Amino acid sequence: MDDLDYRLIAALRVDGRAPISKLADILGCSRGTVQNRLDRLIADGVITGFTIRVRDDTGSDRIRAIMMIEVAGRATDRVLRSLRLIPEIVVLYTTNGAWDLVGEIEVDNLKAFDAVLAKIRSIDGIARTDTSLLLASA
């Protein structure tokens, strides 16, 4: 990948539905170049799909949070298997540093949020957690 590929991906992140002609204008190259690059990025598996983003206030009644998780000893695989069974954890990452895992939680209300926290914290192998509610995007 080169600079043009990265700029194309960045433009698609802003507007994944932008027509090829608009992308060509943004990138300062021909439509054929953009189409060839896009086709290659898709064929190579760099671009795996296109998605939508919704306004922050859409579904604003949902409660979302980020949970940092420290795993005790070598229990990461076992903890990951348990966490993946909790449907309210919508994204789960391994990471480095003080925290071993980062999870994004999404629930309907505070009662459900409290229940999910309790469920997660009761998993054998979790040493400690730190959770922050997501209030608004900046």
State the average pLDDT for the chain: 91
What is the tens place of the pLDDT at every residue in 44-100? 999 988 877 666 555 567 899 999 999 999 999 999 999 999 989 999 999 998 999
Q: Where in the chain is the domain with CATH 3.30.70.920?
A: 63-133
Phi-psi region of 21 (alpha: psi -120 to 50; beta: other; left: phi over 0): alpha
CB 104 within 8 A of CB 65: yes
- CATH architecture under which domain 63-133 falls: 2-Layer Sandwich (3.30)
For domain 3-43, say whether CATH 1.10.10.10 is its number. Answer: yes
Rg (CA), the chain: 20
| Mean pLDDT (whole number) for 12-26 | 92
Give percent above pLDDT 90 in the chain. Answer: 72
Which pair of structure tokens corresponds to residue 85? Answer: 């069974």
Q: Where in the chain is the domain with CATH 1.10.10.10?
A: 3-43
